[in-house]
Structures are given as C-alpha cells and as structure tokens.
Amino acid sequence: MSIVASFGPVAGRQAAVPPVPMGGPSAAARRYGMLPMPSLEWNEQVARETAHLYERIKTVVPAVEWPFFAPYVKAINSLKQERNAVILAHNYQTPEIYNCVADFVGDSLQLAREAAKVDADIIVQCGVHFMAETSKILNPDKVVLIPDLKAGCSLASSITGEDVRLLRQRFPGVPVVAYVNTSADVLT
C-alpha cells in the first residue's frame, strides 16, 4: 500500500459532512452553515487544475508528493472563493500553503497590516494564536479562523495580561509598550 493510500485521500471515498463537535457547531458554522467534505481524490482533473500551482513549488516539493497535496490545495482554494475568505500565512508555513493557497504572506507584523485591509468575510490565519487574535482585534465583525488550535509562540507566552496589570499597578503612569508578538490579553 502506498503512503498516499495509507495516510491521504482514498479513491472512491464518499464525501461526508464533517462531524459536529460535542459543544455544537462553531460560531462560524452557525453563521455560514456546514458544507460537505470536498473530494480529496487525486485524479486527472485535479492534476490539470493544480499544475500551474505545482510549477511554483516543484523545486522544493518532489513530484511524488504533489498527488497528496494537490487535492487539499484545490479544495482550500475552492472553499476560499465559495466562502469569501482570505488566507494570511506566516513565513514559516510549508511550501504548498505559502505558495499555493496563501493570499498574503509575511512576518507577524506584515500579516497584521494585511489583516487590517482585507475585505473578505473570513480570515484564515495560518500562524499562531496571537496572530489570529490580532486579526480579530483589527476585524471585530469578521470570522477569524486558525487551523491549528495548538499553535503557540514562546515569545508571546513570555508575558501575560496579568503581568502587565501588575506592572501598571506597581508603576502607575509608566507607558507600556508591546510588540505585535503578544497576546490579545497583553494588548488590551
């Protein structure tokens, strides 16, 4: 059995509606509705529709791996159009995300600047928590999603909102300056 068959899309798999989490659908799912799971099968149509994208990454992603990534890339790009979403991807994302699905790329400061300008209804922040929190602060009426709920940053974790409140209490009137790489609790 090939690695793609073992861990990736399975030919002939029926599209299913994703399971609803125990707490019920998310706010985004309630607002926009649930969609059936897209087909993640590698076939000639997917090959044709993603060939131009593979050209961008062919020097860093071996041809043998593209059949695994391409169905996901196609599905993500289709969902972006259907849902009026943009993807903001940090510089450390993998090539298929950075070069094939991201609408904006950069470091955390650049992504915050881009988040402030987007017109899309949904922002997908391919980065860490503080980046998604910053996007939400800048776009309170938009849905902001983060693909990996465990994505954290040691720099952002090095100070908490409670730390800042204690510093303000101890040193009243002294200005507090924080870089963008901090949590919403620190910034607010």
Residues of the chain with pLDDT > 90, as a percent, come to: 71
Across 126-131, average pLDDT: 94
Residue 149 in domain = yes
Amino acid identity of residue 185, one-letter, is D
Q: What CA–CA distance (Å, rounded) separates 1 from 179? A: 49
Domain count, the chain: 2
Residues 88 and 61 in one domain: no
pLDDT level of residue 5 (50, 70, 90 thresholds): very low
Across 30-43, average pLDDT: 90
pLDDT of 4 strictly over 70: no
pLDDT of 3 strictly over 50: no
- Contact between residue 107 and residue 91 where contact means Cβ atoms under 8 Å apart: yes
Query: If you ran DSSP here, which 8-state letter would residue 181 be given?
Result: S
Q: Which of 78, 73, 101 is nearest to 89 (CA)?
A: 101
Residues 148 and 166 in one domain: yes
Residue 27 in domain = no
Tokens representing residue 25 in the block: 């659908």
Q: What CA–CA distance (Å, rounded) separates 127 from 138? A: 16
Give CA separation, 17 vs 5, 99, 109, 165, 173, in Å.
Answer: 21, 28, 36, 44, 54
Residues 93 and 158 in one domain: yes
Residues 61 and 153 in one domain: no
Residue 25: what pLDDT? 82
Across 172-183, average pLDDT: 90
Residues 161 and 177 in one domain: yes
State the number of CA atoms in the 13 A half-sphere of 94 facing the CB.
6
Residues 60 and 116 in one domain: no
Residues 112 and 167 in one domain: yes
pLDDT level of residue 180 (50, 70, 90 thresholds): confident
pLDDT level of residue 111 (50, 70, 90 thresholds): very high
Domain with 77 in it: 1-10+42-83
Residue 153 in domain = yes
The enclosing domain of 95 has a CATH number of 3.40.50.10800
Residues 76 and 99 in one domain: no
Residues 137 and 62 in one domain: no
pLDDT level of residue 96 (50, 70, 90 thresholds): very high
